[in-house]
A and B are shown apart, each in its own frame.
Chain A
Amino acid sequence: MADIAQDIPVAAQAPPPRTTGMLGWLKANLFDGVTSTILTVACAALLAIAIPPVVRWALLDAIWHAPNGQACRGAGACWAFIGEKFRFILFGFFPVAETWRPVVVVGIFLLMIAAACNRRMWGRRLGILWLVGLMVVFALMRGGFAGMSRVETAMWSGLPLTLILAVVGMLLGFPLGVLLALGRRSKLPAVRAICVGYIELIRGVPLITLLFMASLMLPLFLPAGVTVDKLVRAQVAFVMFAGAYLAEVVRGGLQAIPKGQTEAADALGLSYVQRTWLIVLPQALSLVIPPLVNTFIGIFKDTALVIIISLFDLLTTAQTALADVNWQGFYVEAYVFVGVIYWSFCFFMSRYSQLLEREFNRGKRR
């Protein structure tokens, strides 16, 4: 069969009709066969049933202005409640006259996050920016200088508290997690044992237990007269908790790095620290971005648990706002409001992580 040989090249032809363009897309994605068509119609019907009432409740029938809760009862949402409690939900018990301080604090957080997202900023400058930023945050919240009244940490509440707990928890928990993950793979049995013990212990108890321990048990172990601020104790519990969870995620990444990578680094004379920092971690971490962000999102939302040691995070201030006798019963509005805030942060983390993944996977694309 040696005569099957083709010397005449096949000219490029147009694709078959209805595989490209708008019609092609509709056919491929919505009406590709009987099952697909039925599903498309069913989904459209469901949306047609579900969306109008929501729109009616949230927008058309909603009450935007009202002097009190009584005047705000109707078929729709009472956004007047949010307008009334807006400041309290966001900033809680922070003195009303000083509201500008937590506003600036939230602004600083958003700026620092924006800076951290810009890859060109990565490096020493960013570290300094964050260090200074966090010190300013602390100084603004605490006050007690330059005419600003002193505000005890017990008064720190709402969104600033949530952001402080979450951001510092991630910021310190992440390096702790990386160290624990590296330690768990150490050749030294003692280091390994300590890391495994720590991870299994912290991961094995609920965060609530840790927070209780930090707030109730820890003071019992401290010598008389020594007190540690409750917020600091909660923060430490968060960092410890985040570290243990992140450690296992990072370890997953470390295990996926082929042995040849460390051998090549060794053969070039790189030290352990150089090898880990330059070769192993960049690859390992970029592999585990999805589970890392998953854990970060979890940590962010877990800050709501500080309610049990009576710290007033964003969710708790919303619940407290509901207790006002003049404005009772607007649960849905309150939870939708804080839900949207939580969701915005989490959705942002999720989107940004996808962008990072694409960036880091450049090298793997052909």
Chain B
Amino acid sequence: MSEDRRAAASVIELQGVHKWYGQFHVLRDVNLQVQKGEKVVVCGPSGSGKSTMIRCINRLEEHQQGRIIVAGIELTSDLKNIEAIRREVGMVFQQFNLFPHLTVLENLTLAPIWVRKLPKKGAEETARYYLERVRIPDQADKYPGQLSGGQQQRVAIARSLCMKPEIMLFDEPTSALDPEMIKEVLDVMTGLAEEGMTMVCVTHEMGFARTVGDMMVFMDRGEIIERAPPKEFFANPKSERTKTFLSQILAH
């Protein structure tokens, strides 16, 4: 497929994106296309800008140069566009960020009711369906603080899904979890991937990347250094930096 055709079919499109924090150049000429249904796994050493990049996609961070087009809408400072994009893009955070003053069910129905203007009953039905999907149907009336980390992260995934997003962004979803809880979250994510959700995941879970990813993106010092399908990426990385990184994380 030619570069133009790819661009036309893509649901996320980053063109020459730059970002600075003060003097610090965090994103340097980042170009990325994600097509509908594609699973992109972003990896790289800490401080490489991978979280910043993914957070630019739903404008939690502002880019200063270049273009970002999501679901056919260009991200500008226009609030209408930003809110429209955020409705279609779900995000799962490293720290879960559930709303601690609301029950699990209220966490799930809040945005559908207030943003999508769904009736409460319908929103609750959807919420229960997704709680079932993430395998914690019996926790609906608890508060987030009463759940384990793994359960909280699955609630967070369900909360995003309740908005029926076209795209899901995962920002190191398992990094804050105890080892025995990582699998339950990855299982949910794998299930989601199998259903054809478009996903961009920042993660260090290379096993997940291998089985689920369509495309690996390696970032270092604010640049995309290498992109390749997982098989090729792990079998023969091209750049020295990728090789070093892979040897470091696969060593143990």
Contact = CB atoms under 8 A, between A and B. Distances in A.
A269 B163 contact: yes
Interface size class of A (residues with CB under 8 A): 20 to 34
A270 B115 contact: yes
B76 interface: no
B97 A363 contact: no
B101 A267 contact: no
Interface in B66-85: 83
Interface in B86-118: 86-87, 89-91, 93, 95, 97-103, 110-111, 114-115
B81 to A, nearest CB: 12
A268 B168 CA distance: 11
Contacts of A366: 145-146
A363 B60 contact: no
A258 B101 CA distance: 13
Interface in B114-145: 114-115, 143-145
A323 B225 CA distance: 89
B58 interface: yes
A100 B101 CA distance: 45
Interface in A129-182: none
A264 B114 contact: no
B101 A264 contact: no
Contacts of B101: 282-283, 286, 360, 363
A236 to B, nearest CB: 34
B98 A264 contact: yes
Contact of A364 (B100, B110, B159): B100
Given A266-B60, A270-B115, A363 B143 contact: yes
The number of chain B residues touching the other chain, given as a range, is 20 to 34
Interface in A60-116: none
A227 B140 CA distance: 59
Given A269-B86, A364-B145, A366-B146, A263 B159 contact: no
A362 interface: yes
A283 B100 contact: yes
Contacts of A261: 97, 99
A283 B86 CA distance: 23
Nearest to B146: A366
A266 B89 CA distance: 11
Interface stretch (A211-219, A271-279, A339-347): A271-279
B142 to A, nearest CB: 9
A360 B90 CA distance: 29
Contacts of A360: 101
B159 A268 contact: yes
A279 B58 CA distance: 19
B97 A270 contact: no
Contacts of B99: 261, 264-265, 279, 283
B144 A270 contact: no
A278 B86 CA distance: 17
Given A267-B60, A269-B163, A363-B144, A278 B97 contact: no
Interface string A337-366: 000000000000000000000001011111
A274 B102 CA distance: 15
A114 B94 CA distance: 44
A16 interface: no
A258 B93 CA distance: 13
Q: Identify the interface centre among A264, A271, A278, A283: most chain B CB within 10 Å of its CB.
A: A264
B58 A267 contact: yes
A267 B86 contact: yes
Contact of A266 (B86, B103, B163): B86
A191 to B, nearest CB: 16
Given A263-B93, A266-B86, A278 B110 contact: yes
Interface string A204-223: 00000000000000000000
Given A261-B97, A264-B93, A270 B145 contact: no
Interface string A241-284: 00000000000000000101101111111110010001100110
Most B C-beta atoms less than 10 A away, residue of A266, A269, A279, A365: A269
Interface in B2-35: none
B146 A260 contact: no
A287 to B, nearest CB: 10
A267 B145 contact: no
Contact of B97 (A264, A282, A364): A264
Contacts of B91: 264, 267
Nearest to A268: B111
A260 B93 contact: yes
B12 to A, nearest CB: 15
A261 B100 CA distance: 9
Among B60, B93, B99, the most chain A Cβ lie within 10 Å of the Cβ of B99
Nearest to A273: B114
Contacts of A264: 91, 93, 97-99, 156
A260 B98 CA distance: 9
A263 B115 contact: no
Contacts of B102: 363
Contacts of A268: 86, 110-111, 115, 159-160, 163
7 contacts: A258-B95, A258-B97, A263-B60, A268-B86, A268-B115, A270-B111, A283-B99
Given A268-B115, A270-B110, A365-B146, 6 more contacts: A258-B95, A260-B93, A263-B60, A270-B115, A283-B99, A363-B100
**Interchain residue pairs A-B with the least CB separation, the first 7:** A363-B143, A264-B97, A268-B111, A260-B97, A269-B86, A267-B91, A269-B87
Interface of A: 258, 260-261, 263-271, 274, 278-279, 282-283, 286, 360, 362-366
